[in-house]
Amino acid sequence: MHELAVCQALLDEVERIARARRAKRVAAVRVRVGALAGVEPELLQRAYEVARAGTLAEDASLAIEDSPVRVYCPRCGNEGTVQVPRLVCAACGEWRTEVVAGDDLTLMSVELVAADGVRAGGS
Amino acid sequence: MCENCGCAATGPEHVQVVKPLLERNDAEARHNRAHFDAHGVLAVNLMSAPGSGKTRLLEVTIPALRDEYPCAVIEGDLETDNDAARIRRHGIPAVQITTGSACHLDARMVHHALHELDLDGLALLFIENVGNLVCPASFALGTHRDVVLVSVTEGDDKPAKYPVMFRNADLVLVTKVDLLGVLDDFEVANVARQVRELGNPAPVVAISARTGEGLELWLDWLRAQSATLYGAVDRGVAALGTT
C-alpha cells in the first residue's frame, strides 16, 4: 500500500504551491495516473482522503485522470494503445517497443482559494 | 480588470503544474546516484517477493566477488536486522534499514543509510529492497541497475502479474532452479516470454544459490555492468594509486 506514501508526496507538493501563492486553502487537485505507473487509482483516492486531513487541501477534491499505455514501434512505425501486460506492437507483433505514454504519475493542476470567493496569487 | 482588490476574481485560481508526482524522491535518488558515481561504486537494487532468495543470493555472491569488487549491502526490511546480521557474518559491511510499516525503500531512507556506510574503497553496493513485487517499483533509489528475482515456487506468470516491476528490470533472475525437478508447472521460458511482451530486453537467467547453477552468468553480468560504468580497471592496481 504505497499509495499513502504517494499521497504524502502529492500533498507536500500541493501545499508548497499553495503557500508560495499565499493561498488560504486548496479547492481541487488533479493528477494523471498512467496504467503502468504502479498506482491503483481507487486506492490513491482512499489514501488521499486519509492523508489530506490537517493540510491546506483538507477539503480539496482529487480528480484522477487515467492514462492508457501507448507504445511506438521502431520497426514498423506504428503508434497505438496497448493493454498491460502485453506491450507488443499491435500492427506487426514486434516486442521491442517504446512506451510513449501511460507510465507516468503526474500532478497536473491545483485550484487555489485565497479567501472565500477571492482568487489566490493576485496582486 | 481590477488588479488591486480582486473584485473581478470570482472562482478559485487554477494553477497548471504538470510535474512528476514523485519528483522529490527522484531528486533524492539523483543525489544518491551522484554519490555512487563519485566513489566509483556500482549500486544494484535487488527486488522480489518475500522469500525469493535475495539474501541467500548475496551470501553466495559476496564470497565469490569480494576480492575483485569490495562490496557492502544495505538491507531493507519491515522489522529485524536478521538479514544484515547474515551478511556481516561474511565480513562485509551491512546497514539495516527497518521501515516499520512501509512496504518499500525510498531514496531518502537509502540516503540516511549511506551516512552509516563508508563508500571509499568500495566497488559494489547491493541494496536489498523490502520483499514486495509492487511498491518498490514506484520509488527510484538512485541505483544504477534493477535486478528482479522470481523463485520457481512462486509460479511462472509473475512478470504478467507484476508488469511495472518486471518492465523496468535490467536483469531477471529465476532463483531456486534446483527445485525444478520436483515442480511440474514452472517453465523458465514462460518468464522470459512475458518479460519480452513487456517490451523489456533484459536477460533472464536461471540460477541456484544452492548448486551454483547460473552463478557465473550472474557474476559476469555484474562485472560487465561495472565495466560499462567505470571501465574494466584492475581495481587492485587502481587502489594502489598506480599512474
* Mean per-residue pLDDT over chain B, rounded: 92
Rounded CA-CA distance A101/A26 in Å is 28
Report pLDDT for B237: 46
Q: Where are the alpha helices (DSSP H) in chain A?
A: 3-20, 41-51
Residues of B in CB contact (< 8 Å) with A are 3-4, 6, 9-25, 102-104, 106, 134-135, 137-139, 159-161, 163-165, 167, 194, 196-199, 201
Rounded CA-CA distance B92/B114 in Å is 15
Residue with cell 499491435: A90
- Residue ranges and CATH numbers for the domains of chain A are 3-114 (3.30.2320.80)
Within its chain, how far is the Cα of A18 from the centroid?
Answer: 17
Q: What angle do CA B32, B35, B39 make, to 5 degrees?
A: 145
pLDDT at B241 exceeding the cut of 50: no
Contact: A105, B9; criterion CB under 8 Å: no
Instruction: Let me know: does B19 contact A14? Beta carbons within 8 Å.
Output: no
Percentage of chain B modeled with pLDDT above 70: 91
| B124 DSSP 8-state letter | E
pLDDT at B50 exceeding the cut of 60: yes
| The model's pTM | 0.91
Count CB-CB contacts under 10 A for residue B191. 24
Per-residue model confidence as pLDDT tens digits over A75-90: 999 999 999 999 999 9
Read off the C-alpha cell for B148. 528482479
A31 contact B CB<8A: yes
Read off the C-alpha cell for A56. 491546506
Q: How confident is the model at residue A20 (pLDDT cuts 50, 70, 90)?
A: very high
Rounded CA-CA distance A41/A6 in Å is 11
Within its chain, how far is the Cα of A90 from the centroid?
Answer: 27
pLDDT at B58 exceeding the cut of 90: yes
Rounded CA-CA distance A114/A22 in Å is 7
- Residue ranges and CATH numbers for the domains of chain B are 23-225 (3.40.50.300)
Q: How far apart are the first and last CA of chain B?
A: 70
Instruction: Let me know: does A106 contact A6? Beta carbons within 8 Å.
Output: no
Rounded CA-CA distance A96/B214 in Å is 26
Closest residue in A to B193 (Cα–Cα)? A95
